[in-house]
Amino acid sequence: MIRVTRRDFGALAGAALLARKASAQNGAALIERAIPSSGERLPAVGLGTARVFDSDDERTRQAASRVIGALIEAGGRVIDTASSYGEAESVIGEVMARAGSREKLFVATKLEASDAAELKRSLARLKTAKVDLLQLHNVSDPQQSLAPFKEWKAQGLCRYIGITSTFHGDFGAIEAVLGRERPDFVQIDYSLEDRAAEERILPLAAEVKAGVLTALPFGRGRLFRAVRGRSVPDWATHFAGTWAQFFLKYLIGDERVTTVIPGTADPSHMADNLGAMRGALPDQDERKRMVAFIEGL
């Protein structure tokens, strides 16, 4: 099987096309969503860091600096990382410290357990006294308590708390904890090709007033492979100039989604992704047409 990556698409599409599309989007209003528990507004596109900034070396720090710079320049704020993402917290912390950009960003990280030592380590690596969002990673126990996270929030070590999972087998646990503990955020795996969260997690998140971060919005790269050699259909070009924007705008077109967090170490990909938080969004009929298009490939 030939594997097509986002890097391949950048080469195929051409920098000139991306530049034209980005330029067309620049004058459009920034799409933001309110965090349900507070009303604070966040830009609809952020940056995920899983398997992106794993190594704490100068080359990685330079790449992170360029990507985070592109994020901020375009009006983005949200960076999502985790204590288990290799050295990503350290890389992000160093980049923020060098640029003095901490206050410009909404920093979310994740802990593998309710462990004060792990939290202390994450804060030290991120070079910050508090994070904006602290999440319990890969929740699989329906009886999971968030009491320690609530206490850390009360202590001012984080502003919001959340839970995450990208495993469908954990949906039952996510539903139980989301309904009982009512965290500020839930982060789930959601993409145009994998829409299981639409039926279970998103309705409950809206009911308990939890913000939603969507991980793996490109379906682990499978969506790019599915559309290899194709152009964005004419009926979609009024809201999506590139395939990345097509995939991301499907998610942003759901009002229950707060921020999508595609991962990248490439500033041109970051700029392309950020184009999805400006301009028109697909309406409900167009979102159905997007599903039918992908399912028909």
The overall average pLDDT reported for the chain is: 92
Closest CA to 244 of 220, 218, 280, 225: 218
What would the pLDDT profile of 7-64 be if each residue is shown by its tens digit?
555 444 443 344 344 434 556 899 999 999 999 999 999 999 999 999 999 999 999 9
For residue 3, what are the contacts with CB-CB under 8 A and spacing of at least 6? 221, 225
Helix, strand and coil content of the chain, in percent to the nearest 5, comes to: 45, 15, 35
CA distance 269 to 275: 10
- Report residue 161: phi and psi, to 5°: -125, 155
Q: What is the phi/psi pair of residue 128, to 5°?
A: -145, 150
**Which pLDDT belongs to residue 109?**
98
pLDDT in tens, 117-140: 999 999 999 999 999 999 999 999
pLDDT digits (tens, 9 = 90+) for 220-238: 889 999 999 999 999 999 9
DSSP output for 249-290: HHHHTSTT--EE--B-S-HHHHHHHHGGGBS----HHHHHHH
Could you tell me if 42 and 77 are in contact, meaning their C-beta atoms sit under 8 angstroms apart? yes
Q: What angle do CA 9, 46, 260 make, to 5 degrees?
A: 80
Q: How many angstroms separate the CA atoms of 188 and 177, rounded?
A: 14
CATH topology of domain 6-27+39-295: TIM Barrel (3.20.20)
Residues 252, 271: Cα–Cα separation, whole Å: 17
In tens, the pLDDT along 72-86 reads 999 999 999 999 999
Domain definitions of the chain by residue range:
6-27+39-295
75 vs 53, 72, 105, 109, 265, CA distance in Å?
21, 5, 10, 20, 18
pTM above 0.75, yes or no: yes
